Structure 1
């Protein structure tokens, strides 16, 4: 890991992922989590504010970055999570949880960066209970060809600067290919955000 990835990317990503438009997106899905929750890519704990504490039995916060885990642990302490949160310092492609053990998988603004997103969603499907839910909010490939064309052009430069973030991943298609059925997915361009990075989709999905 280079100096950029170690010292610049964590605070840069934390700042970008806590912008006002993105925080509003998080607030649309995270409060719907319940039971045993696996959050994939918890980052610096940006979602922690939005969980309904009385609905959560245990929160498993997965994050491969040591720098982000450090920030997230500090955030958890300030919110009084106590002993109901476990931090899993690992990639989403290998989750050390039992099959059918999770009620809610939370995925927010992270699928764009996971190298093996197929493996990550396969693991999410494995640990999810048959009647469990995936809550997601992600940015990705725009439906307008003019915007999508610029996304494809800029992505090779964007990725190394933004911690491996892809601009052209199609969230709905990825979930469907991983064996999930979408439930009322909504989309929009985020206000006050460049369109190349601002097309978002959010909603819920269940095992199909």
Structure 2
């Protein structure tokens, strides 16, 4: 991992993802989260203020060791127990059917093997467990989508692997048959980066 990814990008990410609109999305997504929770792509810990009293414990992973320095103060201020680990989503170091909920916010865009990561989410969820997500991805508008595809090679270089053009609904629905999903443009972001997929996918109970 280079100096840019480890030292510079975490600060850029923290600044760019701290806006009021994104905070409202975090709050609405995380309010119903309960039980033993895994967060994939913890980053600098911007989700921490929005976890409610129903969360008994939080295991948080991120592959970028540079994120921990910024995340630690938020972890220390949390009222819930947090186990912060450096790990990849494609190979989660957790047992099968371990968690009541998995959370992922603006992270699937940058995971190299997204299909494997989603398979891992399924594996670690308990039967009846829920996958809470909000992601940006491919717009259904042809003109916007074309430019997303053109700009993704540059975006990957400057945003630590981020893809603008992943069809998030199709990818998630390939793993989870039961998905409640909203798709929309964020009001305060350019359409190129602001087409959002927000929802909850459920693993069937036994």
Q: Same fold (TM over 0.5)?
A: yes
Q: Name the SS for the 2:153 alignment partner.
A: helix
Given the alignment of the two structures, is residue 71 of structure 1 paired with residue 70 of structure 2, yes or no? yes
8 Å contact from structure 1 (residues 102, 132) kept in 2: yes
CA distance in structure 1 between the aligned counterparts of 2:2 and 2:71, rounded to whole angstroms: 22
CA distance in structure 2 between the aligned counterparts of 1:59 and 1:113, rounded to whole angstroms: 22
Q: What's the CA shift string for 1:152-173, capped at 9, x where partnerless?
A: 1111111110111100011111
Q: Name the SS for the 1:126 alignment partner.
A: helix
CA distance in structure 2 between the aligned counterparts of 1:109 and 1:180, rounded to whole angstroms: 21
2:168 corresponds to: 171
Q: How big is the shift at 1:142?
A: 0.5
2:45 corresponds to: 45
Question: Could you tell me which of 154, 177, 182 is aligned with 1:186?
Answer: 182
CA distance in structure 1 between the aligned counterparts of 2:144 and 2:21, rounded to whole angstroms: 19
CA distance in structure 2 between the aligned counterparts of 1:31 and 1:67, rounded to whole angstroms: 28
Q: Name the SS for the 2:101 alignment partner.
A: strand
CA distance in structure 1 between the aligned counterparts of 2:184 and 2:145, rounded to whole angstroms: 14
Q: What's the CA shift string for 1:163-193, capped at 9, x where partnerless?
A: 111000111111111234212x112111121
CA distance in structure 2 between the aligned counterparts of 1:178 and 1:73, rounded to whole angstroms: 33
CA distance in structure 1 between the aligned counterparts of 2:66 and 2:126, rounded to whole angstroms: 31
CA distance in structure 1 between the aligned counterparts of 2:55 and 2:152, rounded to whole angstroms: 37
Matches within 5 A, 1:146-165: 146-165=143-162
- Cα root mean square deviation, aligned: 1.3
2:13 corresponds to: 13
Structure 1: state its 5+ residue gaps: none
CA distance in structure 2 between the aligned counterparts of 1:2 and 1:66, rounded to whole angstroms: 11
TM-score normalised by L of structure 1:
0.94
Given the alignment of the two structures, is residue 199 of structure 1 paired with residue 195 of structure 2, yes or no? yes
CA distance in structure 1 between the aligned counterparts of 2:164 and 2:173, rounded to whole angstroms: 19
Structure 2: state its 5+ residue gaps: none
Matches within 5 A, 1:81-160: 81=80, 84-160=81-157
Equivalent pairs counted in the alignment come to 204
